[in-house]
A and B are shown apart, each in its own frame.
Chain A
Amino acid sequence: MAAPAGVVLLALALAAVFYAPRQVRADGAPTASLRSAALVDATLPNNAAALAEGRTLFDENCSSCHGTQAQGSALAPNLRGLGSATVDLWVSSGWMPLANPGVQPARKPSHFTPSQTVAIARYVGSLAPGGLAIPTVDLKGSNPAEGFSVFALNCAPCHTITGAGDALSGGIAAPPLHGVTGTQIEEAIRTGPGNMPRFSTFTVSKAQLADVVDYVTHYIEHPDSPGGGLTLGGVGPVAEGFVGLFAGVGGCVLIALWIGDRDERDGDEGGSGPSHPGHDDGPGTESPEREVAHA
């Protein structure tokens, strides 16, 4: 009995942890860490020393494929005139440097520190005019409700409505939006990396973009999202079905195993034992109502 009681206690403790009332932030105010992450580039120095650092890092890490002047090669595209926002997105998300040019890059921990990333991006941006500079996302006065609406209309068709990301046809995938920064969101929306379309200010206005950033960074990430427990990766009914069948039905069947048998655990239901003579009243007596109980 000790073990089941322990399991029940453990389960109750787990329930207490997961179902601890979470504070719903009625105003949806961004947390300090996310805001600083979104604004990291604006506080970094933009001077000759930073440009020189960016040039060194570019020469060391990027030029072997993209060329010493970022003019591109047979292996990699021309980066001149793309603007620093594109470079910042690709490097900060860990897509670059790329191990295998043939496949869609996956997000991984960035090879560079945030200040190094910005230095590279600004250096590449300084090589030729044009493109978008690293944007500064201002969430002052943003409206997550409008952001949710714009997100559902423009982003959810690929990234899914929970932002979990998913495989699209032809081997490409929409990456998950968990753990992205506001700057990366704006850069991706405005520059359209890879297979993602580019959304101009005619489609998603500057205010709407701030709204989307607000929604994604605060409600896709879940810190302020009301709970309900484990989110199962946000993939919806597939994960729910597995939990329902294996934990739910499976758990109940295990309980049935626990309480259902008297002594059947040795697979003895097969009828190897001889029947007890004490209750044998012979096949001749027609007594379908006769029932025999264990003593």
Chain B
Amino acid sequence: MIDSLFSWIDDRVALSRSGRHLLDKIFPDHWSFMIGEIALYSFIVLLLTGVFLTLYFVPSSTPVVYHGIYAPLRGQTVSEAYDSTINLSFAVRGGLLMRQMHHWAANIFVGAIVVHMLRVFFTGGFRRPREANWMLGTTLLILAIFNGFLGYSLPDDLISGTGIRIAFSIMESIPFVGTYLAYFLFGGSFPGTAIIPRFFILHVLVLPLLIIGLLAGHLGMLVKHKHAQFPGKGARDDNVVGSPLWPTYAAKAGGFFFLTTGVTALLGAIVQINPIWQYGQYYAYKVSYAVQPDWYMGWLDGALRVMPAWEINLPGHMIPNVFFPAVLLPGLTFNLIYAWPFIEAKLSGDTAEHHLLDRPRDKPLRTALGAAVFAFYFVLFGASATDVLANYLSITLNVVLWSFRILCIVVPIVVFPVAYKICVELRDTPGAGQRKRHNIIVRSADGGYSTIAADEYPGYVRPELEPVALDEVDLVAAMSADADQGPEGVYRIPRDYS
């Protein structure tokens, strides 16, 4: 009965062929290949919690008088956006948990993308044929950062309002077109009343749709190219050694989704994030000291802080200081990331297809360069906390600022040779990074010495799971014979199979 129902459906949607192919898909086993999944799962958490938030959030700058539960705001004139965010936090059951989970998931989302990108970079996973997927991933990172900024701007609180003000100024700093752009986006001068609804529709519709579409492309290309793998255990450029999607990776990925969600829920439950009831409604005449953006905008904020007060005065037009750290720097950064696969191919002359990943130590120049560039952005990231560091370390703010100006030049210069040297040493040292074994020295009866390699530790037997090739079965033939009773093995699909 159920079987016949399935075959009735399958006759019409024809999923079992391609589904079988997908379920038997082999993915290589390595923990670092699961980092991208963190981003995927936190994005799902973002979608789920975000839908909950949209049920209560009112994207409007219309002033209303707060009459809710939180006494220090009662009677204050706030925007509907702020009012509804406070109410969904305090008056909606589970609302604050949902809002905090949403915010933490956003932080984890962008963080996982960056870590995933570092993994791909340092293992050379961007090389042919994966250059396009690297660029797609970079676009996803940019969209994630933008959507994070839009999202934390929506509550219209004092801190995020200051951030929007900075964003307005950054747009204005673009030569010639800046003021037009800023006035176009904000529907007039700052702050206006258009920005909250506009940010809302971008945040909940336009950017998520773009992200979902590009994510589908990202994963589709992953399936098409197959996942790259580390060498060893029989892995070659023309095969994939690992475990099948069903049941191994289905279980792993399913469990990982719940665990990622669990981490997000734990953070949302026990660690406060963005307590906007303490910040209050944004008014252009109110300001708080010590305002930073969320961490993924931190490197831009840090760049703004450490940038000396230079500007270029052209005849009839001034290029303001803000332009260099806040427009030029991210522009160069992302264009460099986009272009890196081609730059490296040009420099190394290596344009061949690669499905085997590099160990970072085996490419010391790339690793050192990547580490130095990453160190530069990490210092900028730290520079967005100049005041917090000065306060906690009891140092003058000015000293901290100057330290960061020097560090953002010195640290990359130091990191490059150190990383290079470490890579070369690791590469040239046999067995580096592996557990050392004791050698038991045995003296024989006639006085000679010999050594026996001991177990890594007593009783340790290393499970060796050497890959075993499975019988290949021609998929089409197997299907036509008897799909249910087909022999076990890997179904082989001819290239021209559609």
Contact = CB atoms under 8 A, between A and B. Distances in A.
Interface string A167-181: 111110110000000
B90 A226 contact: yes
A292 B30 contact: no
Contact of A161 (B73, B158, B398, B494): B158
B462 A266 contact: yes
A220 B456 CA distance: 56
B397 A269 contact: no
Contact of B232 (A165, A167, A253, A271): A271
B30 A264 contact: yes
Nearest to B241: A292
B468 A270 contact: no
A174 B289 contact: yes
B288 A161 contact: yes
Contact of A237 (B111, B252, B295, B387): B295
B108 A288 contact: no
Given A169-B397, A231-B272, A292-B26, A159 B232 contact: no
Contact of B112 (A225, A249, A278): A249
Given A248-B267, A283-B238, A238 B388 contact: yes
Contacts of B391: 165-167, 173
A171 B399 CA distance: 9
Categorize the interface residue count of chain A: 35 or more
Contacts of B89: 226, 228
Contacts of B236: 275, 283
Contact of A288 (B232, B234, B238, B294): B238
Given A144-B71, A167-B391, A259-B252, A243 B271 contact: yes
3 nearest CB pairs, A to B: A241-B295, A271-B232, A244-B107
A256 interface: yes
Contacts of A291: 24-26, 226, 239-240, 490
28 contacts: A156-B289, A160-B289, A166-B388, A228-B100, A229-B100, A235-B290, A238-B292, A238-B388, A241-B295, A244-B107, A244-B273, A244-B295, A247-B271, A248-B104, A248-B263, A248-B267, A252-B263, A256-B37, A260-B33, A263-B463, A268-B434, A269-B231, A276-B467, A278-B469, A287-B238, A292-B469, A293-B242, A293-B467
B370 interface: no
A164 interface: yes
Contacts of A161: 158-159, 278-280, 288
B35 to A, nearest CB: 6
A293 B292 contact: no
Contact of B467 (A148, A152, A270, A292): A292
B310 interface: no
A238 B388 CA distance: 8
A235 B269 contact: no
Contacts of A145: 71-76
Contacts of B30: 260-261, 264, 269
B295 A245 contact: yes
Contacts of A257: 31
B189 interface: no
Interface of B: 24-26, 29-35, 37-38, 42, 69-76, 89-90, 96-97, 100, 104, 107-108, 111-112, 115, 158-159, 226, 230-236, 238-244, 252, 255-256, 259-260, 262-264, 266-267, 269-275, 277-280, 285-295, 298, 359, 384-385, 387-388, 390-391, 394-398, 400, 433-435, 456, 462-470, 472, 490, 492-495
Contacts of A240: 107, 271, 273-274, 294-295
B233 to A, nearest CB: 6
A276 B234 contact: yes
Most B C-beta atoms less than 10 A away, residue of A244, A251, A262: A244
Contact of B278 (A219, A264, A268): A219
Nearest to A211: B72
A153 interface: yes
Nearest to A290: B239
A256 B31 contact: yes
Given A15-B270, A244-B107, A255-B259, 11 more contacts: A27-B71, A147-B72, A156-B286, A159-B289, A238-B292, A240-B271, A249-B38, A252-B259, A260-B30, A273-B232, A293-B468
A228 B108 contact: no
A227 B242 CA distance: 46
A275 B278 contact: no
Contact of A292 (B25, B295, B470): B470
A240 B400 CA distance: 21
B287 A157 contact: yes
B286 A152 contact: yes
B396 A170 contact: yes
B243 A262 contact: yes
B264 A292 contact: no
Nearest to A264: B30
A273 to B, nearest CB: 6
Nearest to B76: A145
A194 to B, nearest CB: 15
A228 B294 contact: no
B72 A235 contact: no
A270 B249 CA distance: 22
